[in-house]
Structure 1
Amino acid sequence: MASSKKRGKADSQETELDAQLLAADDQPQPLPTWYKAVMFGLLIVGLLWIMVFYLAPGGQYPIPGIGGWNIIVGFGLAMVGFIMMTRWR
C-alpha cells in the first residue's frame, strides 16, 4: 500500500506538469504588427475604392476602363481584409 501512495504522488506531479505544459502551448500566439496593418489597410483601401467610384462623376475613377467592375475590386480588397480578420487574436 505504501508503494501505491508513492506512485500516486508521482503520477499527480506528472499530471500537473503535463497540465502546465498544455496550458502554455494552448495560448494563441499574438499576430505580428504587419499582419494587422495589412488587414486594416485592405479594409480601408477597399472602402475608399468604392467611395471614389460612387463619388466620381460618371464612374471615371479609380480605373475608368473597367467601369462597374470597380465595385468588385473594392469589395474584393475588403473581403481579403475580412478573411484576414478571422485569424485576429
Structure 2
Amino acid sequence: MPESRRRKPKKATAARPASTVTAKRRSPSPRWFGGMIMAFFLIGIAYLLTYYFSNGGVLGMEALGGWNILIGFGFVVIGLGVATQWH
C-alpha cells in the first residue's frame, strides 16, 4: 500500500487581536448640559400649558393658532435630542 506524503507543517503566524481599533472614551458632558436638557423640557411644557390654559389668548399666541402646539412639542423634542448626546 502506498504511503502518503507528509505535509509540511504550517508556519506559525502571529494571531491578530479581534479588534485592533480601540474605542475612544468620550469625556463626560459639562455640568451645564443637564441643565440645558431640563430647560428645553420645562420651556416646552410651560409653553404648552400656557397655550392650553389661556385658550391661545396670550399676546402673540393668538396669531400662531395651531402652530403653538408644534412650538411647544418642538422644545420637548429638542430636549430629547440633546439628551441623547449626554454621557
How many equivalent pairs are there? 67
Kindly report which structure 2 residues correspond to 1:27-38, keeping only aligned pairs within 5 A, or say none.
27-38=25-36
Q: Distance in 2 between matches of 1:27 and 1:75?
A: 33
Partner of 1:59: 56
Unaligned 5+ segments in structure 2 are 1-21
Which stretches of structure 1, 4 residues or more, deviate above 3 A after TM superposition? none
Following superposition, the deviation at residue 26 of structure 1 comes to 3.7
Residue 49 of structure 1 aligns to which amino acid in structure 2? Y
Unaligned 5+ segments in structure 1 are 1-21
Asked which structure has the greater CA Rg, the reply is 2
Q: Distance in 1 between matches of 2:49 and 2:71?
A: 12
Residue 85 of structure 2 aligns to which amino acid in structure 1? R
Partner of 1:43: 41
Residue 88 of structure 1 aligns to which amino acid in structure 2? W
Q: Distance in 2 between matches of 1:64 and 1:32?
A: 38
Query: What TM-score, normalized to structure 1?
Result: 0.63
Identity %: 26
Residue 39 of structure 2 aligns to which amino acid in structure 1? G
Greater relative contact order structure (CA < 8 Å, 6+ sep): 2
**Quick check: 59-68 or 38-47, which moved more?**
59-68
Bigger fraction of residues in helix: 1
Alpha-carbon contact 1:47-1:74 (below 8 Å) kept: yes
Query: What TM-score, normalized to structure 2?
Result: 0.65
Q: Distance in 2 between matches of 1:47 and 1:40?
A: 11
Following superposition, the deviation at residue 40 of structure 1 comes to 1.1
Kindly report which structure 2 residues correspond to 1:1-89, keeping only aligned pairs within 5 A, or say none.
22=22, 26-56=24-54, 58-61=55-58, 63-89=61-87
